[in-house]
Amino acid sequence: MTLTSEARTKILSVLLANRSNFEGSDSKYAASFNINKSVFARMKSGETERLMNDTNWISIARRMGVQLGNEPDWLTADTAVYLYITEQLQLCQMESLTSIYCDVAGIGKSYTAKQYVKRSKNAVYVDCSQVKSKQKLIRFISHAFGLDHNGKYSEVYENLVYYLKVIHKPLIILDEAGDLDYPAFLELKALWNATEHHCGWYMMGADGLQAKIDRGISCKKVGFTEIFNRYGSKYNRITPFASDDRREFMLEMAATIIEVNSPNVSNKQQLIVKTNYHLRNLYNEIIKHKRASAA
């Protein structure tokens, strides 16, 4: 994929706008995106040409959620899930608390967390399904904060702990946490111990995360009881358990999303039923409707 000047300018504008959410120096911010500090200095003055190859630009766009194609704009709707998770994330960050959120798939958990990180200082989003091992997890978090993540693991870990204790109100969101390997799970306990009262932690996942923790506790597997205790000793959830109540809950959220993103849909109820009350499917249907309307 060859990027146009317009695409690079779009990526750069998002990258520079996000700088205010990063407490560290320009050098650390640049390092978190694998950008040389001298290159970043030129980027701050508006330069985009012949600074990096397109692979690096695309990597930045992916991490920042920048759409490079002709995708229609998507607006955030204040659904029940969005408001609930956002409030929990704010509380965890401001009070350096920890919490676990386990709920059904496809209701906007990941989207909400990513949106929160985009506008919040010192907040990091981790897709644990992509960094399942202990080393990958810690190195990824370190990299996200602009720290050296390529050295000796013990030094990377110690530097991360130190940094989390000196910056203002950091928050680490662990999405798909049920995918973590056992040693990585144990490392979360060590990190919590080392950063207590200094860092907020928010663990998210679907029903599999709860099943994993419950199974570990019932089997008396080392670390699971301690982790559950450190993360609040309860599973937070907003989606109703009863199927009829859940369907009504999803219907209300879907209607809110449609009203914000595609209010001219002729039959909202029919569209929602077509998606089987699944918000990921709803996103696809709304995007298709927007494209058809723009054609």
Residue 237's contacts (CB-CB under 8 Å, 6 or more residues apart) are 101, 102, 103
pTM assigned to the model: 0.90
Q: pLDDT-based confidence at 132, cuts 50/70/90?
A: very high
Q: What is the pLDDT of residue 294?
A: 66
- Distance from C-alpha of 219 to C-alpha of 217, rounded to nearest angstrom: 5
Higher local confidence (pLDDT), 162 or 272:
162
What's the confidence (pLDDT) of residue 90? 98
CATH pick for 80-230 out of 3.40.1280.10, 3.40.50.150, 3.40.50.300, 1.10.3720.10: 3.40.50.300
- pLDDT-based confidence at 1, cuts 50/70/90? low
Q: How confident is the model over 219-266, as pLDDT tens digits?
A: 999 999 999 999 999 999 999 999 999 999 999 999 999 999 988 887
Task: Report pLDDT digits (tens) over 182-216.
Answer: 999 999 999 999 999 999 999 999 988 999 999 99
DSSP 224-246: HHHHHHHTTSS-B--S-SSHHHH
Condensed to tens digits (0 to 9), the pLDDT of residues 4-38 reads 888 899 999 999 999 988 888 999 999 999 999 99
